[in-house]
Amino acid sequence: MPVQSSLAANSAKHKEDTKQSVDKMALRVWIRMFACTQLVEKRVRKLLRKKYNTTLPRFDVLAQLDSSNGTLSMGDLSQRLMVTTGNVTGLIDLMEQEGLVERHPHPTDRRSTLVQMTALGEQLCSTAMPAHQEWIQEMLKGMTEDELSQLHQLLGKTKAAIAAREEQWEKKRTRAG
Protein backbone atom coordinates (compact mmCIF):
# COMPACT_ATOMS: atom_id res chain seq x y z
CA MET A 1 0.00 0.00 0.00
CA PRO A 2 1.46 3.39 -0.90
CA VAL A 3 2.42 5.62 2.03
CA GLN A 4 0.09 8.42 0.95
CA SER A 5 -3.06 6.27 0.86
CA SER A 6 -2.07 4.77 4.22
CA LEU A 7 -1.80 8.28 5.70
CA ALA A 8 -5.17 9.23 4.22
CA ALA A 9 -6.76 6.09 5.67
CA ASN A 10 -5.24 6.82 9.09
CA SER A 11 -6.44 10.43 8.91
CA ALA A 12 -9.98 9.34 8.00
CA LYS A 13 -10.02 6.79 10.85
CA HIS A 14 -8.73 9.42 13.29
CA LYS A 15 -11.50 11.84 12.22
CA GLU A 16 -14.16 9.13 12.67
CA ASP A 17 -12.74 8.13 16.08
CA THR A 18 -12.69 11.79 17.12
CA LYS A 19 -16.32 12.30 15.99
CA GLN A 20 -17.44 9.23 17.94
CA SER A 21 -15.50 10.44 20.98
CA VAL A 22 -17.13 13.89 20.78
CA ASP A 23 -20.56 12.33 20.28
CA LYS A 24 -20.08 10.12 23.35
CA MET A 25 -18.79 13.07 25.38
CA ALA A 26 -21.81 15.18 24.40
CA LEU A 27 -24.08 12.46 25.77
CA ARG A 28 -21.98 12.14 28.93
CA VAL A 29 -22.13 15.92 29.46
CA TRP A 30 -25.92 15.90 29.05
CA ILE A 31 -26.27 13.07 31.59
CA ARG A 32 -24.00 14.91 34.04
CA MET A 33 -25.91 18.19 33.66
CA PHE A 34 -29.21 16.38 34.16
CA ALA A 35 -27.90 14.58 37.26
CA CYS A 36 -26.69 17.87 38.76
CA THR A 37 -30.03 19.53 38.05
CA GLN A 38 -31.92 16.66 39.67
CA LEU A 39 -29.72 16.72 42.78
CA VAL A 40 -30.12 20.46 43.27
CA GLU A 41 -33.84 20.36 42.53
CA LYS A 42 -34.43 17.49 44.96
CA ARG A 43 -32.67 19.38 47.77
CA VAL A 44 -34.44 22.67 47.04
CA ARG A 45 -37.85 20.95 46.89
CA LYS A 46 -37.21 19.30 50.26
CA LEU A 47 -36.07 22.54 51.91
CA LEU A 48 -38.93 24.63 50.51
CA ARG A 49 -41.43 22.09 51.81
CA LYS A 50 -39.77 21.77 55.22
CA LYS A 51 -38.94 25.43 55.94
CA TYR A 52 -41.70 27.29 54.06
CA ASN A 53 -44.44 24.70 53.54
CA THR A 54 -44.45 25.43 49.83
CA THR A 55 -43.49 23.77 46.57
CA LEU A 56 -40.87 24.57 43.95
CA PRO A 57 -43.49 25.49 41.32
CA ARG A 58 -45.14 27.95 43.75
CA PHE A 59 -41.74 29.40 44.62
CA ASP A 60 -40.92 29.72 40.90
CA VAL A 61 -44.16 31.65 40.28
CA LEU A 62 -43.41 34.02 43.16
CA ALA A 63 -39.82 34.50 41.96
CA GLN A 64 -41.03 35.35 38.45
CA LEU A 65 -43.61 37.77 39.79
CA ASP A 66 -40.99 39.33 42.07
CA SER A 67 -38.60 39.86 39.17
CA SER A 68 -41.32 41.75 37.28
CA ASN A 69 -42.52 44.06 40.06
CA GLY A 70 -45.18 41.66 41.30
CA THR A 71 -47.44 41.37 38.24
CA LEU A 72 -47.40 39.30 35.03
CA SER A 73 -49.98 38.14 32.53
CA MET A 74 -50.80 34.44 32.58
CA GLY A 75 -49.19 34.10 29.13
CA ASP A 76 -45.97 35.82 30.20
CA LEU A 77 -45.84 33.72 33.34
CA SER A 78 -46.30 30.57 31.28
CA GLN A 79 -43.43 31.56 28.96
CA ARG A 80 -41.10 32.45 31.82
CA LEU A 81 -41.82 29.19 33.62
CA MET A 82 -41.54 27.26 30.34
CA VAL A 83 -44.80 25.39 30.94
CA THR A 84 -48.19 25.39 29.25
CA THR A 85 -50.82 27.94 30.16
CA GLY A 86 -52.95 25.02 31.41
CA ASN A 87 -50.27 24.14 33.96
CA VAL A 88 -50.04 27.76 35.06
CA THR A 89 -53.82 28.04 35.40
CA GLY A 90 -53.99 25.08 37.77
CA LEU A 91 -51.06 26.35 39.80
CA ILE A 92 -52.48 29.87 40.03
CA ASP A 93 -55.85 28.44 41.11
CA LEU A 94 -54.16 26.78 44.09
CA MET A 95 -51.98 29.78 44.91
CA GLU A 96 -55.02 32.05 44.79
CA GLN A 97 -56.84 29.77 47.26
CA GLU A 98 -53.80 30.00 49.56
CA GLY A 99 -53.82 33.80 49.34
CA LEU A 100 -50.40 34.05 47.65
CA VAL A 101 -51.60 35.63 44.40
CA GLU A 102 -54.70 37.22 42.96
CA ARG A 103 -55.97 37.63 39.42
CA HIS A 104 -57.11 40.84 37.79
CA PRO A 105 -58.45 41.58 34.32
CA HIS A 106 -55.84 43.10 32.01
CA PRO A 107 -56.64 46.81 31.60
CA THR A 108 -56.07 46.89 27.83
CA ASP A 109 -56.46 43.26 26.68
CA ARG A 110 -59.78 41.62 27.54
CA ARG A 111 -58.42 38.18 26.59
CA SER A 112 -55.63 38.41 29.14
CA THR A 113 -55.53 38.04 32.91
CA LEU A 114 -52.89 39.51 35.19
CA VAL A 115 -51.48 37.62 38.16
CA GLN A 116 -50.31 39.70 41.10
CA MET A 117 -48.57 38.73 44.31
CA THR A 118 -50.49 39.44 47.50
CA ALA A 119 -48.89 40.70 50.70
CA LEU A 120 -48.71 37.07 51.88
CA GLY A 121 -47.00 36.07 48.63
CA GLU A 122 -44.54 38.94 48.97
CA GLN A 123 -43.79 37.91 52.54
CA LEU A 124 -43.11 34.30 51.53
CA CYS A 125 -41.01 35.42 48.59
CA SER A 126 -38.95 37.88 50.62
CA THR A 127 -38.05 35.24 53.20
CA ALA A 128 -37.63 32.24 50.88
CA MET A 129 -35.54 34.00 48.20
CA PRO A 130 -32.49 34.69 50.42
CA ALA A 131 -32.73 31.18 51.87
CA HIS A 132 -32.88 29.70 48.37
CA GLN A 133 -29.74 31.64 47.42
CA GLU A 134 -27.95 30.35 50.53
CA TRP A 135 -28.94 26.75 49.73
CA ILE A 136 -27.56 27.02 46.21
CA GLN A 137 -24.35 28.63 47.48
CA GLU A 138 -23.97 25.85 50.03
CA MET A 139 -24.46 23.15 47.39
CA LEU A 140 -21.82 24.71 45.14
CA LYS A 141 -19.40 25.53 47.94
CA GLY A 142 -16.81 23.05 46.66
CA MET A 143 -16.20 25.17 43.57
CA THR A 144 -13.99 28.25 43.37
CA GLU A 145 -15.26 31.57 42.07
CA ASP A 146 -13.19 31.05 38.92
CA GLU A 147 -14.66 27.57 38.38
CA LEU A 148 -18.19 28.89 38.86
CA SER A 149 -17.48 31.69 36.40
CA GLN A 150 -16.11 29.24 33.82
CA LEU A 151 -19.07 26.91 34.30
CA HIS A 152 -21.51 29.81 33.95
CA GLN A 153 -19.80 30.90 30.74
CA LEU A 154 -19.77 27.37 29.30
CA LEU A 155 -23.42 26.79 30.18
CA GLY A 156 -24.29 30.12 28.53
CA LYS A 157 -22.49 28.98 25.40
CA THR A 158 -24.31 25.63 25.60
CA LYS A 159 -27.69 27.33 25.98
CA ALA A 160 -27.00 29.61 22.98
CA ALA A 161 -25.89 26.67 20.82
CA ILE A 162 -28.98 24.65 21.71
CA ALA A 163 -31.27 27.64 21.09
CA ALA A 164 -29.65 28.23 17.68
CA ARG A 165 -30.11 24.58 16.71
CA GLU A 166 -33.72 24.67 17.91
CA GLU A 167 -34.32 27.73 15.74
CA GLN A 168 -32.82 25.93 12.72
CA TRP A 169 -35.01 22.87 13.33
CA GLU A 170 -38.08 25.06 13.69
CA LYS A 171 -37.32 26.82 10.38
CA LYS A 172 -36.89 23.45 8.65
CA ARG A 173 -40.14 22.18 10.16
CA THR A 174 -42.00 25.32 9.07
CA ARG A 175 -40.66 25.08 5.51
CA ALA A 176 -41.46 21.34 5.31
CA GLY A 177 -44.97 21.71 6.70
CATH code where residue 25 lies: 1.10.10.10
How many helices (H) and strands (E) are present in the chain, helices listed first?
A: 6, 3
Residue 37 counted as domain residue: yes
Burial class, 119, CB count within 10 angstroms (exposed 0-12 / middle 13-18 / buried 19+)? exposed
Indicate if 127 and 170 belong to the same structural domain. no
Residue 112 counted as domain residue: yes
The region, left, alpha or beta by phi > 0 then psi within -120 to 50, assigned to residue 26 is: alpha
Structure letter (DSSP) for residue 108: S
Asked whether 121 and 101 are in contact (CB, 8 A), the reply is: yes
Indicate if 164 and 125 belong to the same structural domain. no
Indicate if 48 and 129 belong to the same structural domain. yes
- Cross-strand partners of 72: 115
Indicate if 155 and 78 belong to the same structural domain. no
Indicate if 43 and 126 belong to the same structural domain. yes
Indicate if 94 and 147 belong to the same structural domain. no
Residue 57 counted as domain residue: yes
Indicate if 154 and 95 belong to the same structural domain. no
Note down pLDDT in tens along the chain; length 177 residues: 565 666 565 666 656 666 678 788 999 999 999 999 999 999 999 999 999 999 999 999 999 999 998 899 999 999 999 998 888 999 999 999 999 999 999 999 888 899 999 999 999 999 999 999 999 999 999 999 999 999 999 999 999 999 999 888 888 878 876
* Pairwise CA distance, residues 52 & 138, whole Å: 18
Q: How many CA atoms lie within 13 A of 136 on its CB side?
A: 9
Indicate if 98 and 41 belong to the same structural domain. yes
Indicate if 126 and 149 belong to the same structural domain. no
Domain range enclosing 70: 20-133
Asked whether 95 and 61 are in contact (CB, 8 A), the reply is: yes
Structure letter (DSSP) for residue 53: S
pLDDT given for residue 177 in this prediction = 65
Residue 11 counted as domain residue: no
Asked whether 92 and 101 are in contact (CB, 8 A), the reply is: yes
Closest to 44 measured CA to CA, from 126, 124, 129:
129
Indicate if 80 and 156 belong to the same structural domain. no
Residue 8 counted as domain residue: no
